[in-house]
Structure 1
Amino acid sequence: MKLLKLYSNNPSFHDIQFNPTGLSIIMGETSQSGENASLKGNCNGVGKTTALRLVNFCLAANSNEGLKKIPKEWSFFLEFELNGQNHRIERSVGNNTLALDDKAIKLARLQKFFDGNGPFLIDKNVSGLSFRSLITRFMRHRREDISDEIYPVSSDQKPSDATIRSLYLLGAAYLLAERKKLNAVKLNNIRNQIKQYKEIKKNSRNNELGIDADLASHKQRLERLKAQLENMNIFEAFDDIRREIKDKEEKIETLFQKISINNYQLASINKALDYTPDMTADELKGLYEGLKKLFKESALEHFDKVEVFHKQMAENRTHRLECDKQQIQAENERLNNEYLHLKESAKRLEAQLKNRHSENEYQALLQEKNMHELEIERLGVVQKEIAALEQQQAKIRSIIANDNFEATKYVASSPLDCQSGLFQRLMLQFGEDIPAGISITANGGNNQIQFDLKVSAQSGKSTGITHEMTLAYDWLLLTHGSNHDLGFVWHDNALFADIDAGHRAKWMEFIYQNSIDTGKQYIMSINSENFEKSSPYWSEDILQKLQERVIMKLSGEKDTDKLLGIYFDDK
């Protein structure tokens, strides 16, 4: 697959005709004056990255990221060669129009077209492999696509996806990596299912018991309930008699309280009778003699009458207490008789209920029995499901353990030595002999990753070593990768800006010739200032050849000199 031409339905757009093989340079020229003085000396915002985003958009991207400020009625056309046939995609920014070879097509169908007919030999057994997930590795259009790890890009949702896709393009054991990811997902799902079943178990009465102990407890209680129900003697009048007994017990309690009060009153009366507050005649006379000293004798001449009065009062008190005592004793006798009668009656009724049960008691026990049966059935299902899940869990863990062993043996065979050597030679093209390579190790951890992949180079003089590794790694995948027949890679200015000028010059000189030799397209966007800083390192012949490979010059001098031919803020 190669890119041929990018153009628009709007005449202000600057069409881009790609070189069929070799290097194609899109140059962003430095503004010398510009309508906005703040842009002087600046070649950003002229459309270099926008061109890359437009190609990505036309190649069935899910969104128009970075293009939303372009008028929605604008449509873009991308002509490309695929499997010896020329095709054209038309797509409007507002997504109102999408066509392949002038025939309307849905986005999902277009993506399937590329999956089935595109440059990648998609393995349908691997869910994460698709044209869209792989093409972004050859046209890094986001800042996040450039990272220290080199091989992942922002479209990789998980680290395991990045590893599998990279192993696929490197021709390494991607199926082994895919299997661990799938088995790890299965294990996680099983753990969640077991957890859910154990949450169901918590709803039982004995939630602190294990399932086995809880089941045994319910079964024991069920057997006791069955025995009780079998031996129950149902008495229809049971509840009526029980209510009658309760009524008598309430009356007995009332009588008991009355008798207790009466006994207390009798005790008080007996105590009062034992106490004699009366004064004897001699005591009264002594008191009288003493009073003579205080009062006249005439005032105390009726002593005999006083003595008689005092004696009558004492006799009246005793009589009254004896009468009260007799009345209370008589009432107590009546109450005691009634009390004993009620006690005897209640006892006879209790005898009728002995070894008999009410219908309500029977139904209550029956309901409890049914509850235990249902709980035993429910816990039995939970127990069986957990056991089945744990068996699956053990099998998957066994498979993962075997795969981990296979991964260890695979790594020991040095499967990426060839690719690592090629990467080392590509890194030499930047002009500095530094240790570099691609390493793979087995990951036996409890995760979705079977292999740890690392693209590395010892940092030399260049501050842009990460970018150099990215350039070399992408070119390695394009020219010596597996499972694809892709014919182009696109590197944006962001990858060149921080690279040492001399290193950049050597890479561009190398890529000029190597892209011709391999028949691949190397599309690069670069600012003129970065190009010019590297030019002293080139011979006149190389400089001329590189200049001849410039297919588009964009400038910020005027809006019409930009890619779209209008002012466009892609921030």
Structure 2
Amino acid sequence: MKLLKLSCDQPSFKTLRFNSEGLTLIVGDASSRNSQDGSSNGVGKTLSLGLVHHCLGANADSKLAASVPDWMFRLDFSLGQDIYTVERSGDGKELFLNGQKIALAAFRRWLNDRGPFKLDDTVERLTFRSLFTRFARYHRDDCTNPLQTRKESEYDGLLRSLYLLGAEFSLVFSKRSSKQELDQIKQTVTNLKGDKFLREVFRTGANPQVRIEWLGKEIEKLIKDLSQFQVAEDYRQIEQVAENLTKKLRENEKNKEIIRFQLAGIEKSLTQQPDISRGDLLALYEGLQSIFRDEILEHFEAVERFHNGLSANRQKRLEQDRLGLSKELDQLESEWRDIARERDKQMQLLHGKRALDEYAATANILASYKEERARLDEFLTFSDKLQERSQMVKEKRLSEDKLAFNYVRTNPIKQADDEFKKLAELLYPRHPSGLVLKNNLGDNQLRYNLDVQITGDDSDGINSARILCLDWVFLMYGANHSMDFLWHDNRLFADIDPRPRARWFSYVMDSIKGSGKQYIASLNTENFDAMADFLSESEQSVLRSSVKLTLRGDTPENRLLGIHFGKPT
């Protein structure tokens, strides 16, 4: 795939024609006070790359849609011997391929099928858009990690980079699938344990198998109990009558006890002797003769008669009371027998029978136990299957660990590593560098660790150099693509010192001759001019002749769009 021309239907737009081979430079004069390097408010060097992405199926840019929604941008490009034209409006809504209107999704499918990448249908997450970015890093986040572009996961970055290096990637995909399956199994078990029955079992620390055995015994008991259950629909009414009769019996017993106590008191009173016997009374009177006059003592017979009269009356009254209480006791005894017979009759009606609500409660407990046992059976059965599947996946991964180990030992990216070292050594001599592929045995989705290393890559300039070198390896020595161009924006050169930057362009100009490939770069004027002291006259001449577009920030007309695109209001 090569780029031929970037143009627009608006006359103010600065058309960009790409050299069919070798170096194409876009130089931006960022001396304007309002210019911001690498942003949409600049002169347009980065925007030109953004418009290529726009024409090749990127999501519509909000600033472009807001500023120039009706402008039609056009990109002419070639795939093999065929030339294609794609036109797209600034808001992204209108899209034409070779003059024929096409939906964005259909155009992306066309790029996947007909584009420069040999996509493997069996491997997910490989698309034209995801791979193309490595040959045209547009966003700032595309330019921070050589293996990952904007919004890419570590797995995606590894997979796509290995794919472009021609390395084995089936094990990469397989480990991710295995990890996802193991995580899903783990999550499924967790979800199962969240069941209301299982949650209580695990909360109490009970073993599900032990619980199932206990439930089985309890269910058998309840089934037997229900089979012998005789329901009396009026059980509760009869039970209430029986309870009332029992209360009457208890009241009767209490009353009888009171009468028995009273009768016992009467019996005791009847058996007691008079308080003073005749002999005692006479002895008393005789002892008083020396004190009282004789006429007073003459009344002894009268006193004795009075005392005897009182005793006889008391005995008579007690006998009458005893007779009355005995009759009352007999009446209570008769009532007690009648009440007891009635209560026994009611109790006999309940014999062997139980209440309907008690039957319902027992049936509910049985149903609850059956449901819990079914859930536990399902959990243990499914859990066993999950554990079996988990073991199979783990065994497969162990096997693949060994395969990956043996694969890494073959040094499959040796050529890419050699070329990367050559470039890194050119830019930063005496800085150890290389592409290192290692087997990743961790519990994660990554099959390999791929290190893109230039010692000192914590420096912004050296980090940018890692990206330049790896992208060049993708272009010149990569696999699974027919990309014939590589575009590097000024932001990748801004932190590289003039000397290594000059070495880079000198190498590119020399090595790209006769390759049929394009190298497109955008540079600020100061970055462009600063290389002059480190380039030969002939190299400076080639570099100057490679400039296809010069953009300035002094007036709107000298910008890419010819207007103040994206300027704050």
Q: TM-score band (shorter)?
A: 0.7 to 0.9
Task: Kindly state the Cα deviation for residue 363 of structure 1 after the two structures are TM-superposed.
Answer: 5.4
Question: Where does residue 159 of structure 2 map in the other structure?
Answer: 164
Question: Where does residue 186 of structure 1 map in the other structure?
Answer: 181
CA–CA separation in structure 1 for the residues paired with 2:509 and 2:319: 139
Q: Within the alignment, does 1:412 sit opposite 2:376 as a pair?
A: no
Structure 2 unmatched ranges of 5 or more? 269-315
Q: Within the alignment, does 1:556 sit opposite 2:550 as a pair?
A: no
Question: Where does residue 237 of structure 2 map in the other structure?
Answer: 243
Is the 8 Å Cα contact of residues 73 and 94 (structure 1) preserved in structure 2? yes
Is the 8 Å Cα contact of residues 45 and 570 (structure 1) preserved in structure 2? no
Question: Where does residue 6 of structure 1 map in the other structure?
Answer: 6
Q: Within the alignment, does 1:529 sit opposite 2:523 as a pair?
A: no
3-state DSSP class of the match of 2:116?
coil
CA shift in 2, pair 1:205/1:465, >3 Å: closer
Question: Where does residue 282 of structure 1 map in the other structure?
Answer: none
Question: Where does residue 191 of structure 2 map in the other structure?
Answer: 196
Is the 8 Å Cα contact of residues 238 and 350 (structure 2) preserved in structure 1? no
Question: Letter of the aligned partner of 1:234 in structure 2?
Answer: Q
Over aligned residues, Cα RMSD in angstroms?
A: 3.8
For these two proteins, the number of residue pairs brought into alignment is 528
Question: Letter of the aligned partner of 1:173 in structure 2?
Answer: E
Question: Letter of the aligned partner of 1:22 in structure 2?
Answer: G
CA shift in 2, pair 1:223/1:10, >3 Å: same
Question: Letter of the aligned partner of 2:101 in structure 1?
Answer: A
Question: Where does residue 285 of structure 1 map in the other structure?
Answer: none
- 1:39-84 per-residue CA deviation (whole Å, 9 max, x = no partner) reads 6999971011111111111111133265344321112101100121
Question: Letter of the aligned partner of 1:19 in structure 2?
Answer: N
- 1:93-119 per-residue CA deviation (whole Å, 9 max, x = no partner) reads 222210111111111111111111111
CA–CA separation in structure 2 for the residues paired with 1:570 and 1:340: 111
Question: Where does residue 477 of structure 1 map in the other structure?
Answer: 474
CA shift in 2, pair 1:462/1:262, >3 Å: closer
3-state DSSP class of the match of 1:447?
coil
Task: Kindly state the Cα deviation for residue 526 of structure 1 after the two structures are TM-superposed.
Answer: 0.5
Deviates more, 1:57-66 or 1:554-563: 57-66
- 1:333-376 per-residue CA deviation (whole Å, 9 max, x = no partner) reads 65565345433432344345434456665555455444444443
Is the 8 Å Cα contact of residues 475 and 484 (structure 2) preserved in structure 1? yes
Q: Within the alignment, does 1:252 sit opposite 2:246 as a pair?
A: yes
3-state DSSP class of the match of 2:195?
helix
Q: Within the alignment, does 1:382 sit opposite 2:376 as a pair?
A: no
CA–CA separation in structure 1 for the residues paired with 2:239 and 2:513: 112
3-state DSSP class of the match of 2:451?
strand
Instruction: Provide TM-score, normalisation by structure 2.
Output: 0.83
Question: Where does residue 279 of structure 1 map in the other structure?
Answer: none
> How do 1:361-440 residues align onto structure 2 when only pairs under 5 Å count?
364-430=361-427, 432-440=429-437
Please point out which of 109, 125, 143 is paired with 1:146.
Answer: 143
Instruction: Provide TM-score, normalisation by structure 1.
Output: 0.82
CA shift in 2, pair 1:521/1:321, >3 Å: farther
Task: Kindly state the Cα deviation for residue 203 of structure 1 after the two structures are TM-superposed.
Answer: 5.5
Question: Which aligned segments of 4 or more residues in structure 1 are displaced greater than 6 angstroms?
Answer: 40-44, 261-271, 319-333
Question: Letter of the aligned partner of 1:23 in structure 2?
Answer: L
Q: Within the alignment, does 1:493 sit opposite 2:494 as a pair?
A: no
Question: Letter of the aligned partner of 2:13 in structure 1?
Answer: F
Question: Where does residue 350 of structure 1 map in the other structure?
Answer: 347
> How do 1:455-474 residues align onto structure 2 when only pairs under 5 Å count?
455-459=452-456, 464-474=461-471
Please point out which of 17, 42, 45 is paired with 1:48.
Answer: 45
Question: Letter of the aligned partner of 1:170 in structure 2?
Answer: L
> How do 1:293-304 residues align onto structure 2 when only pairs under 5 Å count?
none
CA–CA separation in structure 1 for the residues paired with 2:391 and 2:88: 51
Question: Where does residue 17 of structure 1 map in the other structure?
Answer: 17
Work out the percentage of aligned pairs sharing the same amino acid: 30
Please point out which of 120, 125, 131 is paired with 1:123.
Answer: 120
Deviates more, 1:327-336 or 1:86-95: 327-336
Task: Kindly state the Cα deviation for residue 164 of structure 1 after the two structures are TM-superposed.
Answer: 0.8
Is the 8 Å Cα contact of residues 432 and 460 (structure 1) preserved in structure 2? no
3-state DSSP class of the match of 1:99?
strand
CA–CA separation in structure 2 for the residues paired with 1:67 and 1:325: 121
Is the 8 Å Cα contact of residues 53 and 141 (structure 1) preserved in structure 2? yes
Task: Kindly state the Cα deviation for residue 258 of structure 1 after the two structures are TM-superposed.
Answer: 7.5
CA–CA separation in structure 1 for the residues paired with 2:201 and 2:324: 62
- 1:150-182 per-residue CA deviation (whole Å, 9 max, x = no partner) reads 2111142x2111111111111112111111111
Question: Letter of the aligned partner of 1:193 in structure 2?
Answer: T
CA–CA separation in structure 2 for the residues paired with 1:415 and 1:459: 26
Is the 8 Å Cα contact of residues 53 and 67 (structure 1) preserved in structure 2? no
